[in-house]
Each structure stands twice: as structure tokens, then as C-alpha cells.
């Protein structure tokens, strides 16, 4: 660290600080990780070149988001954001704000994530270059869509829509339109498209129409999809009957479980399959009693085991049913990484068997 601080070249200093930040985030000793990141942040602010300062701040922001201690992560992100706001070069400022926005979306504390994204949005509006302002706004919209708090997502999308309209950022408006369509808010999706040039409007409209078709026929969605949810029983003893569909090919590609999650993404119940149901699509499944209240909002989604896919993204459908026993359930689309970490939790399916 001391050697990196003495480097004169902005290029080499930025690279060294970026590497130190990334390594610090991997340390098991939290106190040492915080100290290294703090020193890296201080050193980054001494870099004269806006471009290389931005690179270092981006790496530090990304490393900060990986810290287990959320208080420290928030402190470093706040300092990184303050430093980014002092950058005058449009390109460099846009890059730094984009990285900070993406890092903010990874925070476990939803309130803090929303606040950082709002600050990033305000800072992005001060960028002089329309092109780089648009880039920063686009990154903020993308990061906002990843938040698990759907109320926060709606508020940030509304603020981003206003900022994009004021800046006449057509590419951002197209992206916002698609995000609104993901929420089945067709009116706002069309409003966002209103000021887009024809080339971008056509592309965005194609995606929106796809989402519309998938809403009308859930079987069109690629991945493991929940078609219907029925619930019976009494409070703290409810049985879920779930109708499922997926492009099953056998044990290399099949629905291996459905699960019940809290609104915040906590795993409440999981029903696993050890057969592929390859000749039975769609199919229904009932699980054991789930301990929830009649007015407790929960999410029911399915997971797909796809060994033929190198990424094997089990929740790629980004679809689920959300609601309460009392008021019923409706189909929704989820953020791409919503509660993705629960895939590692127990129970896990054992070896799959072909057939029904």
C-alpha cells in the first residue's frame, strides 16, 4: 500500500490501487479490509488525471459493496460518491457514477441502496455532455431495477424518467420503458417511449410486446415458470398447490424445485423434485404446510436445473406469483438477481431420475 501511494504515474497508481481494493475485499479479517480500502480511497483522490481517478474510485466502490460489514460498505460508497462528484470531466464522472450505482444495488440494506442511487441520479444530471449523462442515467436505471424493494424501484424509475425527459436522453427512455413493462405498467412504458426516436422506439416496443405476450401466456417465458398458485389450510398451516411449466428435456434440464419466499427474499419453504417430469408438462405439485399468516405477502417461484447451460441460471425466467392467502396471488416479473443466493440453501434435490 505504501509503495502504491508513492507512484507518480496516474496510470500505474490507479492500477495498483484498483488491485489493492479488489484484494482487500477478499480478506477474511474485516478490520484489515476496511483499513486497506480507506487508504486506497484517500490515495485515489490524489490522482490528478480524472480518467484514472475515476477508474480507481470505480474499483474501490465495487470492492466496498463486497464487504460483509454493511456499515463500512456504506461509508466507503458515500466517500466514493463524494469524490466522484468533484470530477469535472464528463466521461470520467459518468464512469465513476455508473460503477457506484452498480455497487449500491448490491447493498443488503434497501434504504441505503435507494439513497445512494438517488444521490447518483442527482450527480448524473450535472454532467455537461449529453452522451455521458445518458450513459450514467442508463447505468442508474439498470442498477435501480436490481433492487429487491419494488416500491423503491418504482420511485427511482419515476425520478429517472423525469431526468431522462429533461435531458432528452432517448436511449435511457427506451430502457425505462422496458423496465416499466417488466412491472406490467404499460401506461408508463408507453409514456417513456413517447420521446424516443423511431429506431429506438421500434426496438423497445418489440421487447415490450414480448413481455405483453408472455404475460398473456406464461408458457412463452423461457425457464421454469409458475402458472398458477392455489392455497388451502389455516394460518401457520397453509398448503400450496403450484402449477408449473418448463422446457424440460430430462435430468439435464428440468424444474428441480419451487419455493416460497418472503417479500424480502428470505426462503420460507422449498419443495424439491428428483424426477424430471419430462412427459408431463405442465404439472401440479403440492408441498408440506407453510407457517405463514393469511395476510403475509409471499412470493412463489420455480427454479430450473440446466446442466447444458454453462451459466446454469436457475431463476432466468424472472417470473413468480406474489400475494397473500387472504387477497390472492398474481403473476409478476422479478429483478434479475432477486434473492439469487437462496439457490445454495437447503433443501437441495438429490440425484434426478428420468420420467414423471
- Can you tell me the distance from the alpha carbon of 44 to that of 24, in angstroms, rounded to the nearest whole number? 15
Sketch out the chain's domains with CATH numbers: 2-168 (1.25.40.660), 219-344 (2.60.40)
130-144 vs 150-167: helix axis angle to the nearest 10? 170
Which own/partner pairs from 3-10 qualify as long-range (CB within 8 Å, at least 24 positions apart)?
A: 4/40, 4/43, 5/39, 5/43, 10/47, 10/48, 10/49, 10/51, 10/52, 10/53
H helices of 105-182, where?
A: 110-124, 130-144, 150-167, 170-182
Strands of 237-245's sheet in order across? 225-234, 237-245, 283-286
Residue 254 in grid coordinates:
428440468
Reading the chain (356 residues) residue by residue, the pLDDT tens digits are: 676 677 889 998 899 999 989 998 888 888 888 888 999 999 999 999 999 999 999 999 999 999 888 898 999 999 999 999 999 999 999 999 999 999 999 998 889 999 999 999 999 999 999 999 999 999 999 999 999 888 899 999 999 999 999 998 888 999 999 999 999 999 999 999 988 888 889 999 999 999 999 999 999 999 999 999 999 999 999 999 999 999 878 888 889 999 999 998 999 999 999 878 767 779 999 999 999 999 999 999 999 987 666 555 689 999 999 999 999 999 999 988 889 889 999 999 988 877 55
> What b/e string do you get for 43-58 counting C-beta neighbours within 10 Å, with b at 16 or more?
bbeebebbbbbbbbbb
In the prediction, which pLDDT does 343 show?
A: 92
Residue 53: alpha-carbon gap to chain centroid: 27
Match 470492492 to its residue by C-alpha cell: 63
CA distance 274 to 149: 33
Residues in the chain: 356
pLDDT at 221: 95
pTM to 2 decimal places: 0.84
Q: What is the pLDDT of residue 236?
A: 95
Predicted pLDDT of residue 211: 96
- Using the Cα atoms of residue 148, residue 151, residue 154 and residue 156 in order, give the sign of their dihedral: negative
* C-alpha radius of gyration, the chain, whole number: 23
Residues 6+ apart with CB under 8 A from 21: 36, 37, 40, 56, 59, 60, 62, 63
Q: Would you state the torsion angle of the CA atoms of residues 233, 236, 238, 244, taken in this order, to the nearest 10 degrees?
A: 170
Q: What is the pLDDT of residue 310?
A: 55
**Which residues share a beta bridge with 232?**
239
State the pLDDT at residue 220.
95
Q: Which H or E element spans position 323? A: strand 319-324
Distance CA 80, CA 44 (A): 10
Amino acid at each position: 500500500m505504501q509503495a502504491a501511494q508513492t507512484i507518480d504515474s496516474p496510470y500505474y497508481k490507479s492500477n495498483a490501487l484498483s488491485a489493492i481494493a479488489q484484494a482487500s475485499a477478499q480478506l477474511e479479517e474485516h478490520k484489515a479490509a476496511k483499513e486497506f480500502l480507506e487508504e486506497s480511497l484517500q490515495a485515489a483522490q490524489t490522482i490528478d488525471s480524472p480518467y484514472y481517478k475515476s477508474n480507481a474510485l470505480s474499483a474501490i466502490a465495487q470492492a466496498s459493496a463486497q464487504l460483509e460489514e454493511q456499515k463500512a460498505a456504506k461509508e466507503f460508497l458515500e466517500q466514493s460518491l463524494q469524490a466522484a462528484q468533484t470530477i469535472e470531466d464528463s466521461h470520467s464522472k459518468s464512469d465513476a457514477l455508473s460503477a457506484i450505482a452498480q455497487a449500491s444495488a448490491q447493498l443488503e440494506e434497501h434504504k441505503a441502496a435507494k439513497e445512494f442511487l438517488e444521490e447518483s441520479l442527482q450527480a448524473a444530471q450535472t454532467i455537461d455532455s449529453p452522451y455521458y449523462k445518458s450513459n450514467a442515467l442508463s447505468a442508474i436505471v439498470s442498477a435501480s431495477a436490481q433492487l429487491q424493494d419494488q416500491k423503491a424501484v418504482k420511485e427511482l424509475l419515476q425520478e429517472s424518467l423525469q431526468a431522462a425527459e429533461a435531458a432528452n436522453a432517448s436511449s435511457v427512455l427506451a430502457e425505462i420503458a422496458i423496465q416499466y413493462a417488466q412491472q406490467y405498467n404499460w401506461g408508463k412504458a408507453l409514456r417513456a417511449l413517447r420521446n424516443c426516436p423511431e429506431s429506438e422506439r421500434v426496438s423497445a416496443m418489440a421487447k415490450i410486446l414480448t413481455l405483453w405476450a408472455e404475460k398473456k401466456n406464461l408458457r412463452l417465458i423461457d425457464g421454469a415458470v409458475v402458472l398458477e398458485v392455489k392455497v388451502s389450510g389455516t394460518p401457520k398451516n397453509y398448503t400450496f398447490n403450484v402449477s408449473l411449466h418448463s422446457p424440460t428435456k430430462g435430468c439435464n434440464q428440468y424444474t428441480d424445485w419451487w419455493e416460497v419466499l418472503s417479500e424480502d427474499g428470505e426462503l420460507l419453504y422449498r419443495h424439491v423434485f428428483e424426477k424430471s417430469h419430462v412427459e408431463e408438462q405442465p404439472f401440479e405439485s403440492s408441498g408440506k404446510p407453510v407457517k405463514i399468516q393469511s395476510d403475509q405477502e409471499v412470493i412463489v417461484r420455480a427454479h430450473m436445473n440446466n446442466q447444458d447451460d454453462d451459466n446454469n441460471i436457475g431463476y432466468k425466467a424472472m417470473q413468480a406469483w406474489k400475494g397473500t392467502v387472504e387477497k390472492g396471488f398474481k403473476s409478476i416479473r422479478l429483478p434479475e438477481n432477486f434473492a439469487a443466493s437462496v439457490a445454495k440453501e437447503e433443501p437441495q434435490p438429490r440425484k434426478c431420475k428420468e420420467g414423471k
